[in-house]
């Protein structure tokens, strides 16, 4: 514990000395740096912040040093995240490569794939998107029909993917494809890495309820993919897919606890919009709702620490982590609903001079959080998984 406390002190001192003041506020979508072949920084300070974090291996702090990381253990990485949140530091690099593909490659990729792709992700040279869901394969993902035919030294891929986040701005896609149509659903699937610049790949953006177009439909028309881009074993990509989903659900479970996305916190929102008397929120219902949210956030944080400790000591069953994706994403939705309720009529601002940037951001983010309980497995499906695997209830799936 003394070593961790010393690490916390050193991290805090370094962040305070090296994070530019302009990088200590919530980043708008336009200010977030996702890397990639055509990426640009929103400002000189954003570039400085990224380069400083990259030099320490803190764009991917838990990855091994030889692949661009810092080799931090889970407890150290959590301390870094919490100290960044405490100071308001922006993430230096966003990306599905950082959060999902990289950890999956560390687990399932061969050495050549790790050497080729992991440093490029850590350094922000390539941006990745995810090709899982299809128009007729959402919650039942294993029914996917995008196929990859064996042509000797390469595959030929045909089909389409839906809800491909930021595919129109990505360089590569990690993709589930069917390589054996005669096998049972899960057994005939493989995991491929595909360069989006390959002839035959095309993308159509989809406009969302919050006004953005972060999701796309991606089409594959006779796309040639080299055999060396197969991750894991042929026809056993479902194993890789499940491993990657663990990292996606872990990320989403941590969203409410360690990721700064809101223009202001619920407590700051209460201070700005609600009447107080004798140092207390006058409205007892709002006071109770805010207290419940803060207690839930504290419980989520403590549970994340318990999961890390169980993983470190090898004493956990894994059941707790199954619950956290559901709890984290549902609480994130409740957080924005609470802030909109506090703001009253100012919480429904979409545009115009009557609303400031934080009010407009809150309304739009509240709509976007609805996607969190769908992505990575819907809350309904997740509850079934919890019932079966964590609570061992019969007959729910």
For 112-148, write each residue's pLDDT tens digit: 999 999 999 999 999 999 999 998 877 778 889 999 9
Q: What is the CATH number of the domain that holds 81?
A: 1.10.540.10
Does 267 reside within a domain?
yes
Does 113 reside within a domain?
no
Q: Is the domain of 266 the same as that of 386?
A: yes
Q: How many domains does the chain have?
A: 3
Q: Is the domain of 386 the same as that of 277?
A: yes
Q: Is the domain of 280 the same as that of 189?
A: no
Does 395 reside within a domain?
no
236 catalytic per annotation: no
Q: What is the CATH number of the domain that holds 297?
A: 1.20.140.10
Q: What is the pTM of this model?
A: 0.77
Q: Is the domain of 214 the same as that of 270?
A: no
- Which residues constitute the domain of residue 12? 2-94
The tokens of 323 are what?
Answer: 């619950």
Q: Are 166 and 203 in contact (CB under 8 A)?
A: no
> How far apart are the C-alpha atoms of 305 and 302, rounded to whole Å?
5
CA distances from 228 to 126, 145, 374 (A): 18, 22, 32
Catalytic residue, chosen from 248, 254, 331, 359, is 248
The tokens of 184 are what?
Answer: 């049972």
CA distances from 65 to 4, 102, 164, 271, 286 (A): 20, 13, 30, 44, 47
Q: Are 282 and 276 in contact (CB under 8 A)?
A: yes
Does 355 reside within a domain?
yes
Q: Is the domain of 268 the same as that of 229?
A: no
Does 251 reside within a domain?
no
* 169, HSE (Cβ side, Cα atoms, 13 Å): 16
The reported pLDDT for the residue numbered 397 is 47
For 272-329, write each residue's pLDDT tens digit: 999 999 889 999 999 999 999 999 998 988 887 787 777 667 776 666 767 888 888 8
Cα dihedral across residues 324, 307, 93, 349: positive or negative: positive
The reported pLDDT for the residue numbered 262 is 58
Does 154 reside within a domain?
yes
The reported pLDDT for the residue numbered 22 is 95
CA distances from 180 to 8, 72, 236 (A): 50, 40, 10
Strand, helix or coil for residue 147 = strand
CA distances from 149 to 127, 152, 230, 231 (A): 26, 9, 13, 16
Give me the tens of pLDDT residue by residue for the chain, a chain 397 residues long. Answer: 669 999 999 999 999 999 999 999 888 788 999 999 999 999 999 999 999 999 999 999 999 999 999 999 988 998 999 999 899 999 999 999 999 999 999 999 999 999 999 999 999 999 999 999 998 877 778 889 999 999 999 999 999 999 898 999 999 999 999 999 988 888 999 999 999 999 999 999 988 776 677 789 999 999 999 999 999 999 999 999 988 877 766 666 555 444 445 567 899 999 999 999 988 999 999 999 999 999 999 898 888 778 777 766 777 666 676 788 888 889 999 999 999 999 999 998 888 889 988 888 888 888 888 877 777 677 887 888 788 877 878 764 4
DSSP state of 27: P
Distance of CA 93 to the CA centre of its chain: 12
């Amino acid at each position: 514990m003394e070593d961790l406390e010393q690490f916390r002190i050193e991290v805090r001192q370094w962040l305070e000395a090296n994070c530019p003041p302009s990088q200590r506020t919530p980043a708008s979508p336009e200010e977030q740096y996702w890397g990639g072949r055509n990426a640009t920084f929103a400002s000189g300070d954003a570039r400085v912040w990224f380069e400083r974090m990259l030099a320490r291996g803190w764009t991917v702090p838990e990855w091994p040093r030889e692949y661009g990381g810092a080799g931090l253990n889970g407890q150290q990485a959590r301390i870094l995240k919490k100290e960044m949140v405490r100071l308001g530091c922006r993430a230096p690099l966003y990306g599905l490569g950082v959060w999902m593909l990289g950890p999956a490659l560390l687990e399932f990729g061969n050495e050549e794939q790790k050497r080729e792709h992991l440093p490029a992700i850590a350094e922000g040279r390539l941006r990745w998107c995810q090709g899982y869901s299809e128009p007729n394969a959402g919650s039942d993902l294993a029914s996917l029909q995008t196929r990859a035919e064996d042509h000797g030294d390469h595959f030929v891929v045909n089909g389409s993917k839906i809800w491909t986040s930021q595919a129109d701005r990505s360089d590569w896609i990690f993709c589930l494809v069917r390589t054996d149509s005669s096998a049972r659903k899960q057994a005939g699937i493989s995991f491929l890495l595909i360069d989006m610049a390959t002839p035959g790949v095309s993308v159509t953006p989809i406009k969302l309820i919050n006004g953005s177009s972060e999701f796309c439909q991606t089409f594959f028309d006779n796309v040639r993919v080299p055999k060396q881009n197969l991750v894991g074993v042929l026809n056993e990509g479902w194993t890789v897919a499940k491993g990657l989903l663990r990292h996606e659900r872990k990320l989403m479970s941590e969203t409410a606890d360690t990721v700064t996305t809101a223009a202001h916190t619920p407590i700051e929102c209460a201070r700005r919009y609600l009447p107080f008397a004798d140092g207390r929120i006058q409205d007892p219902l709002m006071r109770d709702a805010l207290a419940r949210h803060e207690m839930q956030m504290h419980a989520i944080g403590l549970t994340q620490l318990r999961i890390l400790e169980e993983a470190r000591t090898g004493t956990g069953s894994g059941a707790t982590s199954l619950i956290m994706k559901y709890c984290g994403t549902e609480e994130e939705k409740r957080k924005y609903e609470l802030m909109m309720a506090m703001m009253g009529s100012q919480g429904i601002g979409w545009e115009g001079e009557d609303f400031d940037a934080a009010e407009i951001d809150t309304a739009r983010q509240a709509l976007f959080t609805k996607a969190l309980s769908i992505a990575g497995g819907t809350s309904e499906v997740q509850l079934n998984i919890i019932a079966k695997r964590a609570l061992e209830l019969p007959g729910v799936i």
